[in-house]
Amino acid sequence: AQSVTQPDIHITVSEGASLELRCNYSYGATPYLFWYVQSPGQGLQLLLKYFSGDTLVQGIKGFEAEFKRSQSSFNLRKPSVHWSDAAEYFCAVGVDSYDKVIFGPGTSLSVIP
């Protein structure tokens, strides 16, 4: 069955430090992969997506993610975190031609000033 795991429930980083959020997926075919961010009291916002091609994907707000098929991973990175990046981050995989998306459990990011 298709699934998404995010090993880190909560991560704390200092402002200005680099960030990597881990995501692993289970899916038989070539996956469509996504990262969403959810700020407190807000809906989800798409940060970036991978469909095919270059395995390093650039997104909004300075985020990037790298697809590694051999590791079934799609980790999110940012070279320098800002206090406004504190939020919940969800990795997701698209599983059919009807745009069905399965979300991971999320990683909560705290940023220390």
Using rule CB under 8 A, residue 94 touches other proteins: yes
Structure tokens at 103: 């979300």
Shortest distance (Å) from residue 113 CB to other proteins: 26
Maximum distance among all alpha carbons in the chain? 43
Q: Which of 21, 92, 109, 111 binds other proteins (CB under 8 A)?
A: 92
Q: Which of 2, 15, 32, 72 binds other proteins (CB under 8 A)?
A: 32
Q: Which of 34, 35, 67, 74 binds other proteins (CB under 8 A)?
A: 34
Q: Which of 28, 41, 53, 113 binds other proteins (CB under 8 A)?
A: 41
- Who's near 59: CB < 8 A, 6+ residues apart? 35, 47, 48, 49, 65
Using rule CB under 8 A, residue 43 touches other proteins: yes
Give the dihedral sign, CA 22/110/11/81: positive
